Amino acid sequence: MTGNPIKVLFLSPEVVPFAKSGGLADVAGSLPLALKRMGMDVVLVMPYYRTIKDKHLKGRWVVKDLEVPFGNDRLQADVFMTSLAKGIPVYLIDREDLYDRPNLYGTPRGDYYDNLERFAFFAHASLCLMESIDFRPDIIHCHDWQSGLIPAILKGPYGRSKHFSRTATIFTIHNLGYQGLFPAQKLPITGLDYRNFFHADGLEFWGNMSLLKSGIVYADAVTTVSPTYSMEIQTSEYGMGMEGILQYRQEFLYGILNGIDYHQWDPAKDKHIPETYYPNRMKGKMKCKDALIQEMNMDASFKNKPLAGMISRLDNQKGLDLLVAILEKILALDMGLIILGAGDVKIQRAIRKTADHHPGRVGLYIGFNEPLAHRIMAGVDIFLIPSRYEPCGLTQMYALKYGTVPVARATGGLQDTIIPFDKSTGEGNGFLFGPHAAEAFLASIEQALECYKDPQTWKRIQSNGMQADFSWDRSAEMYTEVYQTVLKKRNILA
């Protein structure tokens, strides 16, 4: 890159290692590092959730009593600064009544009733902070509905601000299923007015306001996390009602595949697993399997039998209903299964009920457990991802690196990263099924088990997967191109 470094304000509601509920956090914790390597000047802002406070991070208070407009009021916030890595500051917005709660977005009873207030405040506080510390971003890169208001308020209440007169916005959709829907009468809290913003070409969505739609409509460019998903979301099957507006914005819509962080996810140096391994030394994987079988109280006979795993948010998106539907049949094939998941109580109950019938053959851990996720990734042979839709999906990329063969639905990023194994050529790294149907999923598992029986074939599939490279640098280059395109369009970059 020549000239002045591009200044990026990166806004995500979750960032590894500070707070995580899903893949967005992994992305927000690693893409900024890659952007920094490309020579950009990156800062992050996120809420100072209780779970972050509990970590007692090193850092210092940098702003006290930041004045933030909030509807007709002004509220104050304090700001704590820590860092993601050397030279990448992370500003944490502290406002106890909004963020000092047990979870990020809600409880098992549902979302926090005041999420609009929480994230509208976050949006305004982020911009006020930029003014207060005098950081003038060229790009504000927003992620998912929680930061979807930013592109709109930059055109509304901050439209005349000199501070942001040279700022362009990028909005990344990680998941169209979370639309940030709130009742229309709450619009004044956002600082936007009805006449200019609450209409079909604005953030109005079937009578409600949608913060996701706000991001899609008002950002200079919209990206999503895989090429296939960027096409899918323009169809009625996957568009979740947003297909029209996405088609309308097609010229500014980019599908950029996520990368993964090989510092955290590499079986050759993973600190969470009992023994490390790499393509020419796979013995370690056997040890990981043995240890996992013990840890999860599985029947010892599974040491010599296929063992499948799943690590997932328990959400309708992830297709666990298909798994429950075929569970008896896959167990009849003498395959063991280990599931790690947190989320929806109904899905929890359904899986627990089936798992309880098969002690020793189904290992279940309900909860969020990062080290266990690593041990499962290393210890199982097959990884199951029967998603209804999957914008990108990170676990299949982790699985490939760990010599764990994915069996997944052909959709979104799963389709962009998994190449179906072809016995005749020896090419391919996993198994894909088309329709979201239990029989198709089962048939795909059976195909995998067939290959598992022949150690040479299995080795080949594993080694094909382990060679794949999904590191961030290539994706970061594509983001850079998008940044440069929007800056040029706005005549900000010569």
Site residues, ligand GLC (CB under 6 A) = 22-24, 27, 174-175, 225, 258, 390-394, 413
Q: How far is the CB of 137 from ligand ADP (least distance, A)?
A: 26
Phi, psi (degrees; rounded to nearest 5) at 80: -105, 135
191 is in the binding site of which of ligand ADP, ligand GLC, none (Cβ under 5 to 8 A by kind)? Answer: none
Assess 348 for contact with ligand ADP (CB under 6 A).
Answer: no
Assess 254 for contact with ligand ADP (CB under 6 A).
Answer: no
475 is in the binding site of which of ligand ADP, ligand GLC, none (Cβ under 5 to 8 A by kind)? Answer: none
Q: Which residues pair with 406 in a beta bridge?
A: 383
Assess 341 for contact with ligand ADP (CB under 6 A).
Answer: yes
CA–CA dist 170, 439 (Å, integer): 40
Q: Which residue is nearest to ligand ADP (CB)?
A: 23
Assess 312 for contact with ligand ADP (CB under 6 A).
Answer: yes
Q: Which of 443, 293, 272 is nearest to 362 (CA)?
A: 293
By CB under 6 A, name the one of 26, 94, 261, 381 that touches ligand ADP. Answer: 26
Q: How far is the CB of 439 from ligand GLC (least distance, A)?
A: 24
Q: Which of 234, 230, 201 is nearest to 218 (CA)?
A: 201
Residues sharing a CB contact under 8 Å with residue 301, sequence separation 6 or more, in sequence order: none
Assess 338 for contact with ligand ADP (CB under 6 A).
Answer: no
Q: Which residue is nearest to ligand GLC (CB)?
A: 23
Assess 19 for contact with ligand ADP (CB under 6 A).
Answer: no
Q: Which residues pair with 221 in a beta bridge?
A: 170
Assess 428 for contact with ligand ADP (CB under 6 A).
Answer: no
Looking at the Cβ atoms of 229 and 458, the one nearer to ligand GLC is 229
CA–CA dist 310, 362 (Å, integer): 11
Stretch that binds ligand ADP, among 113-121, 185-193, 365-373, 456-464 (CB under 6 A): 365-373
312 is in the binding site of which of ligand ADP, ligand GLC, none (Cβ under 5 to 8 A by kind)? Answer: ligand ADP
By CB under 6 A, name the one of 8, 33, 340, 408 that touches ligand ADP. Answer: 340
Looking at the Cβ atoms of 138 and 144, the one nearer to ligand ADP is 144
> For helices 438-452 and 455-467, what crossing angle results, to 10°?
110
225 is in the binding site of which of ligand ADP, ligand GLC, none (Cβ under 5 to 8 A by kind)? Answer: ligand GLC
Q: Does the N-terminal peptide bond of residue 306 adopt cis geometry, omega within 30 degrees of 0? A: no
User: How distant is the alpha carbon of residue 28 from its chain centre?
Assistant: 8
66 is in the binding site of which of ligand ADP, ligand GLC, none (Cβ under 5 to 8 A by kind)? Answer: none
User: How distant is the alpha carbon of residue 364 from its chain centre?
Assistant: 23
Assess 378 for contact with ligand ADP (CB under 6 A).
Answer: no
Residues sharing a CB contact under 8 Å with residue 337, sequence separation 6 or more, in sequence order: 307, 308, 309, 310, 327, 330, 331, 361, 362, 363, 384
- For 304, other C-beta atoms within 10 Å of its C-beta total 8
234 is in the binding site of which of ligand ADP, ligand GLC, none (Cβ under 5 to 8 A by kind)? Answer: none
DSSP class of residue 5 equals: P
Please give the residues from 390 up to 409 whose contact with ligand ADP meets the rule CB under 6 A.
392-395
Phi, psi (degrees; rounded to nearest 5) at 408: -145, 165
Please give the residues from 437 up to 456 whose contact with ligand ADP meets the rule CB under 6 A.
none
Looking at the Cβ atoms of 21 and 276, the one nearer to ligand ADP is 21
Residues sharing a CB contact under 8 Å with residue 59, sequence separation 6 or more, in sequence order: 80, 81, 82, 83, 92
Binding site for ligand ADP (CB under 6 A): 22-24, 26, 311-313, 340-342, 368-370, 373, 392-395
